[in-house]
Structure 1
Amino acid sequence: AALGFPAAASAAPVVSPAGPEVTAGPAAKPEPTDLKPAFTTMANRPISRSEVRERGQSWLDDHVPYSQSAYHTNQYGSYRQDCSGFVSMAWNLERSENTQSLLPLMTDIDRSDLKFGDALWRTGHIALFVGWNDEARTRPVVWEEYDYGHFAEQRVWSASYAATFTAKRYRNIVEDAPPPPDAGISVGSDGTQLILNRKGNGTALAKKGIGLYGWTVETDPVVKKVATNGGVQLILTKDGTVLAKDTIGLYEWTVETDAVVTDIAVGSDGTQMILDNTGTVLAKKGIGLYGWTVETDAVVKQIATNGGVQLILDNTGTVLAKNSIGQYGWTRETDAVVGKIAVGSDGTQLILDNTGTVSAKDTIGLYGWTAETDAVVTDIAAGSDGTQMILDRTGTVLAKDTIGLYGWTVETDAVVDRIATNGGVQLILDRNDTVLAKTGIGLYGWTLESDSIV
């Protein structure tokens, strides 16, 4: 029996179905003995789970066919095209191992501790663990090189088949570093600007109007993220509590949640969305502690709302959308390729895919996306007036107000770290940690808004 396989809460998400459920494995084959070097760089070094995901995805994208004799070569090296070769490639091992020679490189773990990039192993077969296909955590979703006639692919295993495998972890896998602190700039459809003064250890300041002066201290030094729209200000404190208000000033904050929240968003129509520490989304309108409606299962990693449209990005990289508060009514918008989402109050949706390409559309549904850029973008923002902002890999900001590949105007030199836009106002945080603002599309007209705040 597999090690530690009671149905228990897991660090891994429940992910979408991945085709027919697998109930039996491939026919037994001799272990390959040709353990060729992979010609990879910095092999056997510590590797993050996000790097494992990137490497593994490359074989799924290339549709690498199963073979115990052929080797697939790409930017990550040359590896044998079977189950253990695939895992060796994903883990950046110095050669294509077999299921037995992998054993000294792995440790046993409990099923409840499985995370993306761990493995399910038995003699003769191994697969990368992706997530769970059911709330009971009995049917794993895996990436694997399965058998002749198949390509590297994502599949769902039945509970009975999964129970014949042992949960394993590569000894050199490491957790991803936490993301950098939120830049702490936000602008609402009414022109309210919120900034987070990290040099003040987490104090929020607010104002209306462009210029260096006029900031009002809004909080004590307890804040880690800010959001504003439609006249509503939201703050997320360092302990995970959300507070809200609709006036500028130090007082009148209302507690909205217990200390369980990891992300916040607010739309021009006053819709508030929160993402809790399980990956579940809740939403409501109105300031106060009560009235939250559960919107999703525990599968979400990013949220956005504006103009009555709610967007979520799930743990597979798939975007879903709807235009009402409640658990049902989500429409799938994309394949599992997206890294970031934004939506304007005019309904313009922006997505940034895993290649760095931006696409846009203005309706809910799977189709209708228009490519907006080449694969060069790191951040996106959409405003209530239709303004789109992008930040490219050099730190340059570009903007436009129509959907399509052309029409971008360069807004800055290559000096910017973060962007925000709404209500006709554009905000940037430059690499000196200074905020600047303006109200029109073009290279000139930026006004210094703050001293260094981060």
Structure 2
Amino acid sequence: MPSSRLPLRTATTLAAGLTALTLAAAPVHALTAPAPETSATVIDHHDKGGAGQGSIAPLKGQAAGAPSALTASAQVTRSEAIARADYWVGKGLNYSWTGSYQGYRTDCSGYVSMGWKLSAPGLDTTSFVPSGVASWIGKGDLKPGDALLNDAAGANGHIVMFDHWTDSSQTSYVAYEFTGSGVHHRTIPYPYFSGYGTYKPVRNNSIVDDVVRRPSRVGVYHPANQTYYEGNNAGGTLGSAMYGNPGWTPITGDWDGDKVSSIGAYDPTTGKFYLSNDNGTTATTVTFGNPNWIPIAGDWNGDGRDTIGAYDPTTSTFYLTNDNTNTAVNVTYGSPGDRPIVGDWNGTGRDAIGVYHPATQTYYEGTITGTTLGSAKYGNPNWTPITGDWNADGITSIGAYDPTTSTFYLTNDNTNTANSFVYGSPGDLPLTGTW
């Protein structure tokens, strides 16, 4: 199964049978961040403010000094901007508005341009806002990856990348800056050291907040009293709720896009779904598919909200809807006797389909167009397949539930068991979600 841990080497289309894929581990490269400077660092005149900046090279047909159309930023997350800025700390770079490193000018604005992923060699302090790359913001809006800008020209201008406030008083902050004495990560009084011009908060228009991912957790459904139990992946219970009627099939999903899974139920005799946003009150009732199809749920279009789907086990056909009403996709995938599974197999932000083949305990990760991305064998006969993003890395992994011992087995690499624990009682059905 493909992921950042097990990259795909070969792919095949799923026809009447299922073909396993060859997988191999990928090397991991990490950068060691240098230690930040301490507050005891001596800061003299040479360590503050700008020290001259290079001009922006015009494109063909532009007037000299005009901002380049190529300076528009690619999307950059806040943590990425900070990591890029941090990489230059401790490199021993010399400040020079005619020099460069990694294609960017080795001056204050070239440094921040690099952190913001602007086109090399970077803008200067007079151009960030007029070019449309950045906009002025308020002090209270400052977040990691924003900046404090003195938009004067030449050596009178300067820009520093904001990291974080030193405390709740917001009288000083930790920032990254390139001055005449090199690249620093240090504490600066807000808005900047006195005597070096006027500084105002500014934001790259293409910076985005980091996605805060919630790990998937398991739970169980107790058919005898239609009770859902939300677990904590360690054998404990976070919450419980009664919902539905005897004989209904439990289902979970983030129906309203609040990043928290809620419960639901499917009546196999009528083909009706009952979805709750508060784990108690029916928010939506939907008839979709035919009686005795297998209910599924996922974020098929990446809008942050789970919608329903159904799997016809007699024809191995998936039916998916993006609005809980109309069929958006229907695709035949798998073989008779397979069980449907769902997950974001490659971190795209969209869920896709898959199947579990009980005869061989093999999981097959598919696409909504009916091709196979990867496969892995895991578990023992008669175990129930489950899927989830157990370590919150954005990629769905597999797992299994042993109904005879009420034991969950979770893997983060689709191979080795990362976590196993007993939860529930005999006869319970496994659940997964972001509780």
Q: TM-score, normalised to structure 1's length?
A: 0.39
Which is greater in Rg?
2
Report 1 or 2 for greater relative contact order, CA contacts < 8 Å, sequence distance ≥ 6.
2
